[in-house]
Chains A and B, each alone.
Chain A
Amino acid sequence: MCNSCEKQLETKFADGNVDLTLLEPIFAEYTGKPGSIISILQKTQEIYGYLPLSALQAIADKTGNKRAKIYGIATFYSQFRLSPVGKYVILQCHGTACHVLGAEKVGSAICDELGISPGETTTDGLFTLEDVACLGCCSLAPVIMINGETYGKLTPDSVRKILQNIAEAEKGGVVCEA
């Protein structure tokens, strides 16, 4: 890593704009419980929607670990993200059944509709698209999950409609369940 990159990363680890007091209840719950790092990271992500590097630093300090180790765990698992996400997180399944039944076309339709690639968030902060290995609803393939709700037997057109409905509802200030 070059010098300036390292410095940049260093400032993120010390970012004062993240409210770290929110972590206190988590620390209280897990203090003295060995093997809790993944659980702590999961709860942290529930609070912020992602894992701010300064939170990782705080977790490292609190649990007596090197921050490289916490960073290593956070980047090992696909559940954890290091950047903020949109209000609606779309998990697109790329399991075998979905692949065979046209997940790729559904994925292109989502990207085209939202103007983002997998792993990105729309500029209005509404949608984040993530590719996942399998959601376990193979008989409904192709499948996506939006904030815990599963949508199955998708076509490029139907997935566009689902996203448009959500965006529409957001504009009107009411969110209906599609």
Chain B
Amino acid sequence: MKLRVGFGSCGIAAGGRKVVEKLEAEMKNHGQQVELILTGCIGMCFYEPIVDVIDNNDKVYTYANVTPEKAEEIFNTHILGGKPLEQYIVSTSDKPYPILSKQVRIALKNCGIINPENLDDYLAKDGYKALAKVIKEMTPEGVIEEVKVSGLRGRGGAGFPTWFKWNAANKSKGDIKYVVCNADEGDPGAFMDRSVLEGDPHALLEGMAICGYAIGAREGHIYCRAEYPLAIKRLEIAISEAKKKNLLGDNIMGTGFSFDMHIKKGAGAFVCGEETALIASLEGERGMPRLKPPFPAQSGFWAKPTNINNVETFANVPWILFNGGKAYAAYGTEKSKGTKVFALAGKIKNGGLVEVPMGMKLREVIYDIGGGIANDKDFKAVQMGGPSGGCIPKELLDTPVDYDSITKTGAIMGSGGMIVMDEDTCMVDMARFFLDFTCKESCGKCIYCRIGTKRMLEILERITAGQGREGDIEKLQELAVSVKDGSLCGLGQTAPNPVLTTIRYFRHEYEAHIRDKKCPAKICKPLLTYTINADACKGCTLCAKKCAVQAITGKPKQLHVIDQALCTKCGNCATVCRFNAVGIE
């Protein structure tokens, strides 16, 4: 028997540490040592903390939402007594939970399965075999050809063919070249890279080493955001373990190929997701993009040929080289091959990470895998691509998820964040939210990005404050075009997308804000009016007590009234009322 506990950031935050402490205490109490494996995230974040019991026939029983008390019960009844606790089990290896059975896991294949801090676990899952095959049997050109056959495209956002970048870096002349991994996952709403870093760091290292061999580089740099302390710790352990076993470092496996790895902590700037800005930041400078060409493949880190890919892209590479490009290309659509990891979050029942073949319909991802909308509300839109992306409405739920189909909707695939929104989400407020983000994160180099986003934000703030004017929508559209045209890098070029898509699909919400001074989703506070319903009010006085500005008056057991002139629309009265007597208009 073995025990496995989800110990990614999400598992720990949900209480995984206390569960582990309890299990360790139980082992001590009973003098019964059981192998305890701490893994990364399996992707079912809504079920954390998760405990797996693996019996001697390798059958896996998954227990969800485990508390220390449940952990004690599991230990006593299942581990010691040999009786599975059916009432707590959500999935078993021969009858997996639907969220898992619909997935094809390649980049996430080991996440939640192996102990990321133990190299032997990775080796037992064919780890570093692809690297061995590559450096012992293949030419760099052969590796690039295999990646070309796989059809792998960059998983960070733009979807550029990976082989093309590798080939360009390979063809560039120079003794010193670099492989850089973009682990600065800055898209709010995306966390697949964190999961790979925390759950399977060796897959990234192996992918980068293979890339190093293909382009002729001997050094790799991982640019990881400082907000991911656990990821950085596990990467450090992984690098040192791999070096000890001669899987990284000098003369790897006696082949003469050397590849060393460094970690650089990012300091927090969204624009550093752009290649040239990332390179500037790696060099210790302000992360500001520059004009391309020259492309990093010609002149990148320290002006040497450099290949940059993101975490998920590299994590696919070992599988592709081990199983062949054709096997990878068997998944997906004609132009978008393989699988893609999506981070499901927002108002969805089963939030978490899923990896599915490209081309699956949005509806399947959200309803069949994600379980649909939380609290059984109505689906309104799904936001894809973060601040560079857009909101896809209900009518387009049957869009297949591949690069080209998503781009047609006005959104982008991006890094794979999917934020689901229900009827209670205001689309104008969402546009304002994203513009606020890009405006703050603009590096300031290009005038349109620096000032144009600011002006757009001001208009949106005005609209959500109930001071929208006729012509505001058109002005937003006009500015959007200028910002797109007048910006050097992807940040500015895509910043207007959330505004444009919400205008395209939810223009009526903008008009309701501007003309009727109403927020249909009841989110924009200045546009709301709180009133107390005479039929429902029992005169319990609770709302009057909780009102911070004394806007509510009324005697006990009599109808209470809100003074609109004093009301700050904080919503406290509606929250505390036990009789649903406070109405919001």
Interface residues of A (CB under 8 A from B): 34-39, 41-42, 72-73, 76-80, 91, 94-97, 99-101, 108, 132-141, 143, 145, 148-152, 177
Interface residues of B (CB under 8 A from A): 9-10, 12-14, 17, 45-46, 185-191, 194, 226-229, 264-270, 281-287, 302, 343-347, 351-353, 383, 386, 417, 419, 421, 425, 430, 433-434, 437, 441, 443, 570
Which chain B residues lie closer than 8 Å to A80 at the CB level?
267
Whether A96 lies near B417 (C-beta < 8 A) is: yes
A131 → B minimal CB distance (Å)? 10
Whether B437 lies near A141 (C-beta < 8 A) is: no
B226 → A minimal CB distance (Å)? 6
Task: Return the contact of B281 from the options A34, A38, A134 (Cβ within 8 A).
Answer: A38
Taking A97-B189, A136-B191 as known contacts, 7 extra A-B pairs with beta carbons closer than 8 A to each other, sorted by chain A number, are A72-B286, A76-B443, A96-B386, A134-B227, A136-B9, A139-B352, A152-B10
**In the bound complex, CA of A73 to CA of B187 (Å):** 22
Q: A148-B229, A152-B13 are in contact. Are A38 and B267 (CB under 8 A)?
A: yes
Whether B13 lies near A140 (C-beta < 8 A) is: yes
Whether A137 lies near B287 (C-beta < 8 A) is: no
Task: Return the contact of B227 from the options A38, A41, A132, A177 (Cβ within 8 A).
Answer: A132
A41 → B minimal CB distance (Å)? 7
A50 → B minimal CB distance (Å)? 14
**In the bound complex, CA of A99 to CA of B436 (Å):** 12
Task: Return the contact of A150 from the options B9, B185, B226, B346 (Cβ within 8 A).
Answer: B9
Whether B347 lies near A101 (C-beta < 8 A) is: yes
Q: A35-B282, A136-B194, A138-B417 are in contact. Are A42 and B10 (CB under 8 A)?
A: no
**In the bound complex, CA of A37 to CA of B283 (Å):** 8
Whether B269 lies near A95 (C-beta < 8 A) is: no
Q: A39-B264, A77-B268, A138-B417 are in contact. Are A133 and B282 (CB under 8 A)?
A: no
B553 → A minimal CB distance (Å)? 23
A-B contact pairs, 8 of them (CB 8 A): A35-B282, A37-B284, A96-B434, A100-B347, A100-B425, A100-B430, A136-B9, A152-B14
Which chain B residues lie closer than 8 Å to A177 at the CB level?
17
Which chain A residues lie closer than 8 Å to B14 at the CB level?
140, 152
Which chain A residues lie closer than 8 Å to B570 at the CB level?
108
Whether B441 lies near A141 (C-beta < 8 A) is: no
**In the bound complex, CA of A158 to CA of B157 (Å):** 36
| Complex: chain B residue closest to A112, CB-CB | B548
Whether A134 lies near B188 (C-beta < 8 A) is: yes
**In the bound complex, CA of A134 to CA of B186 (Å):** 7
**In the bound complex, CA of A154 to CA of B108 (Å):** 28
| Complex: chain A residue closest to B352, CB-CB | A139
| Complex: chain A residue closest to B433, CB-CB | A99
A136 → B minimal CB distance (Å)? 4
Which of A42, A108, A136, A150 neighbours the largest number of chain B CB atoms within 10 Å of its CB? A136
Whether A96 lies near B383 (C-beta < 8 A) is: yes
Whether A77 lies near B267 (C-beta < 8 A) is: yes
| Complex: chain A residue closest to B225, CB-CB | A136
Task: Return the contact of B267 from the options A35, A78, A100, A141 (Cβ within 8 A).
Answer: A78
Q: A38-B267, A42-B265, A133-B441 are in contact. Are A139 and B286 (CB under 8 A)?
A: no
| Complex: chain B residue closest to A75, CB-CB | B286
Whether B284 lies near A36 (C-beta < 8 A) is: yes
The 5 lowest CB-CB distance pairs between A and B, nearest first, are A95-B188, A139-B45, A77-B267, A139-B351, A138-B345
**In the bound complex, CA of A97 to CA of B194 (Å):** 16
Which chain B residues lie closer than 8 Å to A95 at the CB level?
188-189
Whether B13 lies near A138 (C-beta < 8 A) is: no
**In the bound complex, CA of A76 to CA of B441 (Å):** 10
Whether B189 lies near A134 (C-beta < 8 A) is: yes
Q: A35-B284, A139-B345 are in contact. Are A79 and B13 (CB under 8 A)?
A: no
| Complex: chain B residue closest to A143, CB-CB | B13
Which of A96, A133, A143 neighbours the largest number of chain B CB atoms within 10 Å of its CB? A96
B206 → A minimal CB distance (Å)? 23
Whether B268 lies near A79 (C-beta < 8 A) is: yes
Whether A96 lies near B9 (C-beta < 8 A) is: no
**In the bound complex, CA of A177 to CA of B287 (Å):** 37
Task: Return the contact of A133 from the options B270, B345, B347 (Cβ within 8 A).
Answer: B270
Whether B352 lies near A96 (C-beta < 8 A) is: no
**In the bound complex, CA of A136 to CA of B198 (Å):** 12
